[in-house]
């Protein structure tokens, strides 16, 4: 096995036992990037020199007995997350030359453990999309089939992990961007509860939904990364001040007797791929073998999650993107008037989908329509949250497909925004309600494409989700 194919846990142990160095591990990842990135297009910026320097320092930490769980382990960072002194484009040309002056809090924490950053990875611009085709740096291809999408918006993150270009990735999930591409690429992705991890230094998309979390090969690896990332941050007032558990400690604890809810609405959707449904249902049967009880439940407001999401998110998007005007950050297009500079910079620097969201959001927030759209969507959002609260009085976790279909062809949905929005049907509800969800591999279709199982839980129930994920994987 090549070093770049190790799980995080295996890499940690290998480094500890001095079987290899962080420099060797990092070189193995860089070699893989060199070989494969031209086909997959996962990395926008490869930071070889920085990575090797950080690896050397990590080896010194290990030699002097200061190894932590993430010391010396190479990872990728979604390009919508700031890393100090590194280009951070958000996959939009308006930030083509933007060098972040400070790191996101979650990155700072990983770096304090001696993490090794390989570079910045592709995504849908500012996180807008489900296929990674809304990137101004080209789409990411699925490592399992280069004619298919990797999923989005964190397609570069999921593909870089699935293709063994890195050991794990740090990504962002506003409405499925971690879970959805993890499902399409056959890896594990966790959207933590809103407020579990600091959003400081993450390019804001929809501030009331944005979360940042890991993509890795196993739930055990996710537990290690989450423990390093999580916690209260005085720079993000929405982070919750509750202790961070040792997520990895209870992974083996018995889950028999657990009540596992199967929401019927998630299996009755029109347009659902048959093979996906069968694979997910088969995976769910495995819970019985572990002594869990399967309970059919109903979440009647599920069908409103996507419409609610696509009012709230463009509204908050449009307001957050106001700062990108060609004056304060990034690329400026010259024009005779100030208004001309704004208009030209935004016209050339944003892709279609970003412009569409700014228009929809500005409309939904305008004086005459605010009550009819934004406020109403917030009310329905409360009903969706209450659906979950009610069901979590009956069951401990919920299991569903992550995506209604496996990876689709490049170009198949890119000219149909509504079809693309509907891809979020199973990942949107947790996002709207602020609860955590994890996507795990549930098998492959006959064409060899991965299918994902989603497990959702109450707010701050990551420990349980990871334990269930670990045992079911």
Task: In angstroms, give the least distance from the CB of 152 to ligand GLN.
Answer: 6
Catalytic one among 177, 219, 403, 414? 177
Comparing CB distances to ligand GLN, the nearer of 233 and 353 is 353
Only one residue has tokens 């993430």, namely 70
Q: Quick check: is 135 catalytic? A: no
Is the peptide bond preceding residue 9 cis, with omega within 30 degrees of 0?
Answer: no
Q: How far apart (Å, rounded) are the C-alpha atoms in residues 261 and 399?
A: 6
Task: In angstroms, give the least distance from the CB of 210 to ligand GLN.
Answer: 8
Backbone angles phi, psi at 78, to 5 degrees: -55, 140
Task: In angstroms, give the least distance from the CB of 153 to ligand GLN.
Answer: 4
Q: Find out whether 153 and 178 touch, Cβ atoms under 8 Å.
A: no
Pairing type for strands 168-173 and 188-191 reads unpaired
The maximal CA–CA distance of the chain, rounded, in angstroms, is 71
Comparing CB distances to ligand GLN, the nearer of 290 and 419 is 419
Only one residue has tokens 């959805």, namely 180
Comparing CB distances to ligand GLN, the nearer of 128 and 459 is 128
Q: Which residues bind ligand GLN (CB under 6 A)?
A: 127-130, 153, 172-177, 205, 313, 424
Catalytic one among 9, 68, 78, 283? 78
Task: In angstroms, give the least distance from the CB of 415 to ligand GLN.
Answer: 15
Distances (CA, A) of 10 to 194, 243, 293, 467: 30, 27, 33, 19
Residues in contact with 399: Cβ distance below 8 Å, sequence separation at least 6, in sequence order: 260, 261, 262, 284, 287, 453, 454, 455, 456
Q: Quick check: is 153 catalytic? A: yes
Comparing CB distances to ligand GLN, the nearer of 216 and 284 is 216
Distances (CA, A) of 284 to 186, 262, 472: 17, 9, 9
Task: In angstroms, give the least distance from the CB of 243 to ligand GLN.
Answer: 27
CA dihedral of residues 231, 237, 240, 243 (deg, nearest 10):
40
Task: In angstroms, give the least distance from the CB of 157 to ligand GLN.
Answer: 11
Comparing CB distances to ligand GLN, the nearer of 194 and 287 is 194
Q: How far apart (Å, rounded) are the C-alpha atoms in residues 2 and 17?
A: 17
Count the neighbouring beta carbons within 10 Å of the beta carbon of residue 333.
16
Q: Quick check: is 177 catalytic? A: yes
Q: Find out whether 152 and 181 touch, Cβ atoms under 8 Å.
A: yes
Q: How far apart (Å, rounded) are the C-alpha atoms in residues 464 and 190?
A: 12
Comparing CB distances to ligand GLN, the nearer of 173 and 265 is 173
Catalytic one among 88, 91, 153, 345? 153
Q: Which residues are catalytically annotated?
A: 78, 153, 177
């Amino acid at each position: 096995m090549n070093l770049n194919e190790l799980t995080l846990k295996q890499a940690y142990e290998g480094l500890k036992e001095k079987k290899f160095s962080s420099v060797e591990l990092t070189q193995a990842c860089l070699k893989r990037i060199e070989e494969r990135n031209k086909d997959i297009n996962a990395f926008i910026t490869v930071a070889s020199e920085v990575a090797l320097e950080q690896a050397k320092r990590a080896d010194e930490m290990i030699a002097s007995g200061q190894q932590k769980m993430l010391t010396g382990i190479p990872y990728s960072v979604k390009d919508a997350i700031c890393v100090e002194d590194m280009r951070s484009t958000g996959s939009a040309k308006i930030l083509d030359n933007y060098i972040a002056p400070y790191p996101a809090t979650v990155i700072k924490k990983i770096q304090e453990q001696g993490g090794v950053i390989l570079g910045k990875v592709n995504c849908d611009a500012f996180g807008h999309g489900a296929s990674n085709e809304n990137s101004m740096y080209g789409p990411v291809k699925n490592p399992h089939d280069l004619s298919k999408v990797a999923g989005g918006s964190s397609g570069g993150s999921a593909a870089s992990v699935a293709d063994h270009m890195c050991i794990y990735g740090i990504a962002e999930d506003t409405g499925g961007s971690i879970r959805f591409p993890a499902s399409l690429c056959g890896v594990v992705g966790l959207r933590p509860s809103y407020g579990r991890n600091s959003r400081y230094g993450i390019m804001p998309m929809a501030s009331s939904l944005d979360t940042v979390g890991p993509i890795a090969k196993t739930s055990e690896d996710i537990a290690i990364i989450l423990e390093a990332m999580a916690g209260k941050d005085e720079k993000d007032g929405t982070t919750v001040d509750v202790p961070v558990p040792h997520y990895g400690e209870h992974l083996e604890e018995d889950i028999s007797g657990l009540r596992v809810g199967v929401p019927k609405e998630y299996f009755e959707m029109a347009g659902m791929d048959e093979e996906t449904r069968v694979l997910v249902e088969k995976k769910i049967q495995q819970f019985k073998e572990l002594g869990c009880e399967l309970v059919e439940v109903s979440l009647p407001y599920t069908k409103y999650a996507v419409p609610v999401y696509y009012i709230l998110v463009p509204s908050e998007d449009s307001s957050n993107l106001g700062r990108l005007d060609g004056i304060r950050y990034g690329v400026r297009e010259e024009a005779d008037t100030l208004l001309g500079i704004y208009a030209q910079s935004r016209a050339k620097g944003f892709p279609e989908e970003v412009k569409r969201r700014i228009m929809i959001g500005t409309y939904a927030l305008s004086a005459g329509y605010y009550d009819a759209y934004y406020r109403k969507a917030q009310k329905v959002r409360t009903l969706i949250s209450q659906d979950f609260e009610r069901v979590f009085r009956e069951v401990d976790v919920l299991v569903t497909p992550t995506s209604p279909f496996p990876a689709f062809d490049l170009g198949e949905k890119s000219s149909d925004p509504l079809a693309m929005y509907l891809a979020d049907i199973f990942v949107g509800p947790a996002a709207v309600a602020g609860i955590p969800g994890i996507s795990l591999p549930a098998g492959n279709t006959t064409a060899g494409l991965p299918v994902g199982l989603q497990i959702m839980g109450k707010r701050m129930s990551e420990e349980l989700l990871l334990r269930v994920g670990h045992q079911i994987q």
